[in-house]
Chain A
Amino acid sequence: MEERVLAILQGVRDDVDFEDETALIDDGILDSFDIISIVGDLNDEFDIEITADELEPENFNTLDAIVELVESLS
């Protein structure tokens, strides 16, 4: 799962080291357009529905948090 999520993240932003960053949102590394792109790809790839309710910094600040979010909705 983690590799698939990582591939999606790198597909949207290949200039970010997703494995080491710990504040993707809080530090402004990902902007809101990136988030929408990532959510669209995650929804398609895992056949889930991430809603606006889940778009909070703590769910997108790290790769682990994103993986956890996807797992909770799968």
Chain B
Amino acid sequence: MSLFTFDFIAFAGLLVLAYFVLPKRCQWVVLLIASFVFYAYGGVQGVIFILVTIVTQWLLALLLQRENDAMAKEAAEATGGAAEKREIRKRYAKKKRLFVWLSVLINLGILIFHKYANVFVEFWNDTFGAGLGGFDLIVPLGLSYYTFKSIGYVIDVYRGRVPAERNPLKLALFVSYFPALVQGPIDRYEHLAHQLVEPHRFDFIRFQYGVQRMFWGYIKKMVIADRIGIFVAEATGNYVEGGYVGFTVILGVALYAFELYADFSGGIDVVCGLSEIFGISLTENFRQPFFVASIAEYWQRWHISLGAWMRTYVFYPLSLSSAFTKLGRKVRKVFGDRAKRLAKVIAPALASFITFVLIGMWHGVGWKYVWWGLIMAIFVSCATLFEGLYAKGRALIHAEKWPVGVRIIQVVRTFVIIAMLRFITIAEDMDDLTAMLTAAFSTWNPEVFVDGSLLELGLSYPNFIVMIVGIAVLLFVDLLQERGIDWRVAIHNLNIVPRWAIYYLAILSLIIFGIYGSGYEAANFAYAVY
């Protein structure tokens, strides 16, 4: 069920009603039933896979809890001091790791199978001339989101950070909570689980804020993202010989960065808004990602929950693994104090390469995603490795005397890098990427900005203006947030006349300017395919 259908709005409306009318102790059961109804709506096959995840993670977490309890008991009875306790922890860690690996193998296995099975068959057939038939696979809805969420839960139980959930139905709700199934966010158990099962009273202000946020999400997706999408599809989809060249393609790619942001964050606004009505606060997935001064900062503000998951469960463990720390020491030993900085950075840099390649592969299958991850890692690692050099550069231009100017330059530079990396995301494969880059950078045609040719790419003049105004509003709202102003509180504090004027304007803009596809469904979310 797409978030942008009347079906969904009716479903959400009925659910809100049931949630607050039925006794509070039933609220979490209502959410669980709703989640499975929502899930089954997309096909029964997917239900089987999510059930496998729920059952395996529930069982393995309970087994881990048993080990944790036994370990704690033994450590409490130990008389040999810290050394003995460390020894006890190490002994138990061995067995506990087995359960974590099982959880990762089973659940990541399902994910990898769905993403790579047909790629592998194709590779096998191409290499060995075999005629293996492919699998008829439908990727279960939200597979990578709930897989990551549930693996995070098992690792947190392993670490003793959260107790294992004994009630399988409560864990089922954490894994399958439907608003977060479509495209995340990937919440941590300690943040979300207790909120899902706690009773919540109806709160009108919260209801109002939730609806406002959902509405803003609908505008972002249907008025802004889907409108930009028309231009982007045309400008970036026709660059073979005789197609679009130069600035037309570059503008298409740059606008794609805005399309993706409006699309992805719009969907997140809808699910966060709906959850807010229930009294459940999902983790934020975006924090004004275009107002950043570096790629590293970008990753603290774009798809925050995926970045945080990767940092917690991949980057940190890798960086601090004995193999990686030994590498740092070895560099120091071989190159001496001159390589002090390199020795410090080498382990996290290497870990960041692996992490970003994994993030790339999470987005899709193919070499282009590997390259995308590698380039991201190069930017992040270089920023740290050459920090001394950058500091000298800043001193040379007396950056401290014009901080706002420097920040603007850094923000524009980072946006250019982010937008240009979108070439990789848009291109079908590496050959396609080369063709696209050639088309974009082999022709100097700034005249397209004034000769009206940009208006022949699917968007009429009024539509083009709506697109530009939409992007401006998007950035304005982000600017308000960046300055610590919550736009919903600001609207709430307005007098009744301007407040309702804004509401009417928003409703009218959605009705008049929304892009409705066949059957009044908006285009699919870009991030709903992961």
Q: Is A7 interfacial (CB-CB < 8 Å)?
A: no
User: Which stretch in B59-67, B195-203, B342-350, B460-468 binds the other chain?
Assistant: B342-350
Q: Chain B interface secondary structure, helix, strand, loop or mixed?
A: helix
Give bound CA distance, A35 to B344, whole Å.
11
Asked if B345 and A33 make an inter-chain contact with CB atoms under 8 angstroms apart, the answer reads: yes
Interface string of A23-63 (1 = CB under 8 A from B): 00000100111011101100000000011110110000000
Asked if B344 and A40 make an inter-chain contact with CB atoms under 8 angstroms apart, the answer reads: yes
> Which one, A36, A50, A56, contacts B348 given CB within 8 A?
A36
Chain B, residue nearest A28 (CB) = B300
Asked if B315 and A53 make an inter-chain contact with CB atoms under 8 angstroms apart, the answer reads: no
> Which one, B159, B161, B348, contacts A33 given CB within 8 A?
B348
Give bound CA distance, A31 to B349, whole Å.
13
User: Which stretch in B145-153, B316-324, B494-502 binds the other chain?
Assistant: B316-324
Asked if A36 and B347 make an inter-chain contact with CB atoms under 8 angstroms apart, the answer reads: yes
Given A51-B320, A52-B316, A55-B316; A32-B328 close (CB under 8 Å): no
> Which one, B161, B316, B344, contacts A32 given CB within 8 A?
B316
Asked if B316 and A40 make an inter-chain contact with CB atoms under 8 angstroms apart, the answer reads: no
* A56 partner residues in chain B, CB cutoff 8 A: 161, 312
Q: Is B375 interfacial (CB-CB < 8 Å)?
A: no
Chain B, residue nearest A74 (CB) = B82
* A52 partner residues in chain B, CB cutoff 8 A: 312, 316-317, 319-320
* B328 partner residues in chain A, CB cutoff 8 A: 40
Q: Which of B303-328 contact A (CB under 8 A)?
A: 311-312, 315-317, 319-320, 325, 328
Asked if B319 and A36 make an inter-chain contact with CB atoms under 8 angstroms apart, the answer reads: yes
Given A53-B159, A56-B161; A31-B316 close (CB under 8 Å): no
Give bound CA distance, A12 to B304, whole Å.
25
Interface string of B268-300 (1 = CB under 8 A from A): 000000000000000000000000000011001
Q: Is B118 interfacial (CB-CB < 8 Å)?
A: no
Q: Is B384 interfacial (CB-CB < 8 Å)?
A: yes
Q: How many A-B residue contacts, CB cutoff 8 Å?
A: 47
Asked if A31 and B300 make an inter-chain contact with CB atoms under 8 angstroms apart, the answer reads: yes
> Which one, B300, B312, B384, contacts A55 given CB within 8 A?
B312
Give bound CA distance, A52 to B317, whole Å.
5
* B347 partner residues in chain A, CB cutoff 8 A: 36, 40
Chain B, residue nearest A32 (CB) = B311
* B380 partner residues in chain A, CB cutoff 8 A: 33
Asked if A28 and B316 make an inter-chain contact with CB atoms under 8 angstroms apart, the answer reads: no
Given A52-B316, A55-B316; A31-B296 close (CB under 8 Å): yes
Chain B interface bracket (under 10, 10 to 19, 20 to 34, 35 or more): 20 to 34
Asked if B300 and A37 make an inter-chain contact with CB atoms under 8 angstroms apart, the answer reads: no
Asked if B348 and A32 make an inter-chain contact with CB atoms under 8 angstroms apart, the answer reads: yes
Give bound CA distance, A38 to B320, whole Å.
12
Interface string of B322-358 (1 = CB under 8 A from A): 0001001000000000000000110111011000000
Give bound CA distance, A66 to B371, whole Å.
37
* B320 partner residues in chain A, CB cutoff 8 A: 36, 39, 50-52, 55
What distance in Å separates the Cβ of B511 from its nearest Cβ neighbour in chain A?
Answer: 39
Q: Which of B363-414 contact A (CB under 8 A)?
A: 380, 384
Asked if B316 and A33 make an inter-chain contact with CB atoms under 8 angstroms apart, the answer reads: no
* B317 partner residues in chain A, CB cutoff 8 A: 52
* B159 partner residues in chain A, CB cutoff 8 A: 53
Asked if A33 and B325 make an inter-chain contact with CB atoms under 8 angstroms apart, the answer reads: no
Asked if B345 and A40 make an inter-chain contact with CB atoms under 8 angstroms apart, the answer reads: no
Given A40-B325, A40-B328, A55-B316; A33-B384 close (CB under 8 Å): yes
What distance in Å separates the Cβ of B358 from its nearest Cβ neighbour in chain A?
Answer: 15
Given A36-B320, A40-B325; A28-B297 close (CB under 8 Å): yes
Give bound CA distance, A37 to B352, whole Å.
14
* B349 partner residues in chain A, CB cutoff 8 A: 33
Give bound CA distance, A17 to B311, whole Å.
25
Give bound CA distance, A33 to B387, whole Å.
12
* B351 partner residues in chain A, CB cutoff 8 A: 36
Given A32-B316, A52-B317; A37-B344 close (CB under 8 Å): yes
Chain B, residue nearest A12 (CB) = B344
* A55 partner residues in chain B, CB cutoff 8 A: 312, 316, 320
What distance in Å separates the Cβ of A20 from its nearest Cβ neighbour in chain B?
Answer: 19
* A33 partner residues in chain B, CB cutoff 8 A: 296, 345, 348-349, 352, 380, 384
Give bound CA distance, A50 to B300, whole Å.
23
Chain A, residue nearest B321 (CB) = A52
Chain A, residue nearest B391 (CB) = A15
B residues adjacent to A (C-beta < 8 A): 159-161, 296-297, 300, 311-312, 315-317, 319-320, 325, 328, 344-345, 347-349, 351-352, 380, 384
Listed A/B pairs (14) with beta-carbon separation below 8 Å: A28-B300, A32-B311, A33-B296, A33-B345, A33-B348, A33-B352, A33-B384, A36-B319, A40-B325, A40-B344, A51-B320, A52-B312, A52-B319, A53-B161
7 interchain residue pairs of minimum CB distance: A52-B317, A52-B316, A36-B348, A53-B159, A55-B316, A33-B384, A36-B319
Other than the given A32-B348, A36-B348, A40-B344, 6 more pairs (CB < 8 A) read: A28-B297, A32-B315, A33-B352, A37-B348, A52-B312, A52-B320
